[in-house]
Amino acid sequence: MATKCSQIYKMRDLIEVESKREQIMSTSLFSDASSRLEKALKYVSISEDAIERLKYPKISLSVSIPLRMDDGSLRIFQGYRVRYDDTRGPGKGGIRYHPNVTIDEVQSLAFWMTFKCALLDLPFGGAKGGITVNPKELSRQELERLSRGYIEAIADFIGPDVDIPAPDVYTNEMIMGWMMDQYSIIQRKSSPGVVTGKPVTMGGSQGRDTATGTGAFYVINSLLPKFGKSPANTTVAVQGFGNAGSVVADLLFKAGYKVVAVSDSVGGVYAKDGLDIPSIRRYKSEHKQIAAIYCADSVCNIVEHENITNEDLLALDVDVLIPAALENQINFQNADSIKAKYIFEVANGPVTSEADRILNKKGIYVFPDILVNAGGVTVSYFEWVQNRSGLYWRLTEVNERLKERMVGEAERVWAISQEFAVDLRTAAYIHGLNRLGEALDAKGTRDYYVNGKIH
C-alpha cells in the first residue's frame, strides 16, 4: 500500500513539474506571438473592445484519446482544438501530429490563423488543432484509429459552419479523409465540408496538396523584383523539405532560381553551383531521406556537395532563406549569424520577435508567415466553397485564383509597409487588424452603446 502511495505521489509531482514547464514554455510562445500586434496597433483605428476581444481565444478544448495498440496494449494520447476567433466566419486551421504539441502551441497557431484568414480576406476565423504524438512510431492501422478517435472526441466542436480542420505538420490527405469519414458516420450523412485537404476522390480540391508551397512561390516571385532580383541572380536555401518546402523549392528551381541548399529534420545538403531539386524530391519520396543527386531517367548520380546541419543552412550566405520547418528556428541565439538578405516564412512562426528585432537592425527583409504560407488556407477555402456548391474546378482554375489572391494581398502588404515605413510583418498585421477590427466593431462598441455612434 505504501509503495502504491509513493508511486502516486511521484506521478503527481512529475505531472505538476511538467505542467509548470509547459506553462512557462507556452506563456513565452503565445506572448511572443501576440507581441507582434503592439507595433501594428499604432497604425490602426479600431475600438478598445476589438483589441480586448483579440487578447483571448474564444474557446479551447483538450481531450484524451484512448488508442488500442496493435500489440493489444492501451495508450492515451492528448488532443487539442482551439478556436481563437470566429467573427469573420467559421474557425479554420490545420491539425498537427507532433511529440511537442501543447495546448499553448495550438493556441498560438490559432492566433496566427485568425490574422492569416483576415489578411487574405477569407470568410473564416482562426483555429488550430493537434495531438501530442510521434506519428512515425505508429502503424498505419494505429494512425487511422487515432485519427478517428480524435474526431470522436471533438465532433461536437467542429462542423462545416462552425470549425473546419485541415492538414498540418505530419498530417496529410489520407488522414483528412479518415476524419471526414468518421465525422460523416457520427452525423449519419455525408459531410465533405467539415474537413479540407481531403483526397480529390472524397471531395478534395485540385491543388490543395501543393497549395502552401505554390502560394509561397507566387509571393516570392512577385516581391523579389521590387529589389531588382531576378531568378538567374538569386540563390536560395530551404530549411524543411516536407510538403511545403519541397514544393516551393521545386517551383523556384523550375523558374530558374539557384537552389543551393535544402534540409530536413535529419540534416541537409549544400552545393554552391545549385541542386537538382526534382531529383532530390524523387529520391526523398522513394528513400525517405535527402541526397544530393542528379537523375537522368532511372539513373541517379551523387553530385559534388557538402553535408550540412539545419543550423549550417540557416547561416549560409544566400540571397533568399526559406524556413519551412517548425516555429522558433531563428531566434536571439542565431539571428546574428543570418546572412540572407530576404527571409520568406513558409513555416508558422519560424522567427521569434527577438530575432525579428535583430534582423531588422541588420537590414534583412522578413516576409511574414501570415502572408507567405497562406496558400494552404486559401485553397482550403476554395475546397470548402466547392463542397458547398457541388461544382469542382480544374487545377489551372484553382492556381489562377490562388495566384490572383496571393499576389494581390502581397502587393497590399508591400504598399502598407511603404506608406507607414514599417517592416513587412507589421504591415501584414496592420492589414489583418483593419479587417478584423471592422468585423468586431460591427457587432457594437462602447461608443455605440454610450454615445450612439458607430466608428
Amino acid type, 223: L
CA dihedral 280, 285, 286, 289 (to 10 degrees): 60
Which position has the grid cell 529520391? Answer: 283
DSSP 330: B
In angstroms, rounded to a whole number, what is the distance separating the alpha carbons of residues 443 and 364? 40
Beta-ladder partners of 236:
259, 320
User: Rounded distance, CA 287 to CA 265, Å?
Assistant: 14
Distances 435 to 6, 120, 123, 427 between C-alpha atoms, Å: 56, 10, 11, 13
Candidates 92, 116, 128, 258; catalytic one: 128
Kindly write down the DSSP assignment for every residue of 141-190, as one continuous string.
Answer: HHHHHHHHHHHHHHGGG-BTTTEEEEE-TT--HHHHHHHHHHHHHHHTS-
The length of the chain is 455
Coil, strand or helix: which one is 203?
coil
Collapsed DSSP state (helix, strand, coil) of residue 261: strand
**Rg, Å, the chain Cα set:** 22
Contact criterion met (CB below 8 Å) for 393 and 382: yes
How many other CB atoms are there within 10 angstroms of residue 360's CB atom? 17
Q: 390 burial class (0-12, 13-18, 19+ CB within 10 angstroms)?
A: exposed
Instruction: Please name the helix (run of DSSP H) or strand (run of DSSP E) that holds residue 449, with its range, or none.
Output: helix 446-451
- Do the strands 258-263 and 306-308 form a parallel or antiparallel pair, or are they unpaired? unpaired
Task: Specify which residues 125 forms β-bridges with.
Answer: 91
Query: For residue 374, what is the DSSP state?
Result: T
453 is catalytic: no
User: Coil, strand or helix: which one is 63?
Assistant: strand
Residue 51, C-alpha cell as written in the block? 483589441
Give the strands of the sheet with 125-132, arranged side by side. Answer: 59-68, 74-85, 125-132, 91-98, 163-167
And the C-alpha cell for 258? 539557384
Four-CA torsion 191, 176, 379, 277, nearest 10 degrees: -160
What is the rounded CA–CA span in Å between residue 249 and residue 278? 9
Question: Which residues are known catalytic residues?
Answer: 128
